[in-house]
Amino acid sequence: MVTCQRCGVENPLGRVFCGGCGAKLDLSQMSRDTVAEKVKVNWFLLQWRKFLVGIVVLLLALVALAFWPQTQPIVKKGTVLGGQRVVGALRALENLKPGRTLGRDFTEEDINGFFEFVKTKELGAKSVSVVVGDGWFRVRVIRLLGSFKLGTFVVEPPVSYDLTCVPMGGVVRVTQLTMGHLTWLGPFRRTVLRRVHGMFAATPEWAVLLNANDIQAEEGKLWLVVGTK
C-alpha cells in the first residue's frame, strides 16, 4: 500500500494518483525492498482470508452433515392387517371397565403396519417405524420441516428423529435422541423431545399409554398391560 502524503489514504500498489483526493502519489520512497515487503504482507493477508473462508465452509459442511436426515424406515414395512390388529387391541384397552386389568402383545411388524396405514398422516409425518429389541425399542420419525419457495421451485426438506427407549414399569425412558446424525444433549435435547412427544400425545391412543401398569420389550415384540381404577 502507498500512503497519500496529502490525505493519508492507503492506496494499493500500482496506483499513480490517490483514490481519496486525486493527488499524485509520492513513489520516490518505494524502494525494491519496500515493495517486496508490502507485497509479502498483502500475500499473507490474502492467504489468511482464504484460510478463514475455508474454515467457515468446512464448519458449515459438518453442520449440514450432522443434520442430514435418515431418510429410510429402520425396519421392513408392516401390513394393513397387522395395523388393524393393533387398532382392535388398543380399542379393547381403551374401553376397559373400571377395576380391570388387561394385557396385549404387539409384534414389531403389526406396530409398523399400524403407523404406516393408520397413524402416519395423522401425526403429520412421512413415516414412523419401530424396531424392538430385548429390553428396548427404537422409534424413527421422518417428517418435513416445511415448504419453502425458491423462485419457481418448492423445497420441502425432511428431518428425522431417532429415539432409543427403555421401558421401566409403566413408563418409557428415552435414553438417546438423535436428529439427523447428531445426538442431542442438554436443553436442546429437551426441546426436540418435547416436539416429538407433542406429536404422539395429541393422538387418542396416548390415553391408553397413560394407564399402562407395565410395558415390556423383547426381541420383535412389545407387551402392554393396562389397568383402570
**Per residue in 191-219, pLDDT tens?**
888 888 898 988 888 888 888 999 999 99
- 185 CB-near residues (< 8 Å, 6+ apart): none
**Per residue in 93-115, pLDDT tens?**
988 888 889 999 999 999 999 99
More confident residue, 95 or 147: 95
- Specify the pLDDT at position 195: 86
The rounded distance, in Å, linking the Cα atoms of 164 and 212 is 19
- Specify the pLDDT at position 66: 52
- Specify the pLDDT at position 34: 57
C-alpha cell recorded at residue 226: 393396562
Q: Is the pLDDT of residue 82 over 90?
A: yes
Distance, C-alpha 174 to centroid of its chain: 16
- Specify the pLDDT at position 46: 63
**Per residue in 1-52, pLDDT tens?**
677 878 878 877 767 788 788 887 776 655 555 555 555 555 566 666 777 7
- 34 CB-near residues (< 8 Å, 6+ apart): none
Instruction: Please give the average per-residue pLDDT across 77-84, as a whole number.
Output: 90
**Per residue in 55-74, pLDDT tens?**
776 666 555 555 566 667 66
Q: Where are the alpha helices (DSSP H) in 4-129?
A: 32-67, 80-94, 108-114, 120-123
Residue 182 main-chain phi, psi, to 5 deg? -110, 125
- Specify the pLDDT at position 35: 55
Q: Which of 6-10, 32-36, 144-148, 166-170 has the highest mean predicted lDDT (pLDDT)?
A: 166-170
- Specify the pLDDT at position 28: 66
Write down the domain spans for the chain.
2-67, 80-227
Q: Is the pLDDT of residue 173 over 90?
A: yes
| Beta-strand relationship, 153-155 and 148-150 | antiparallel
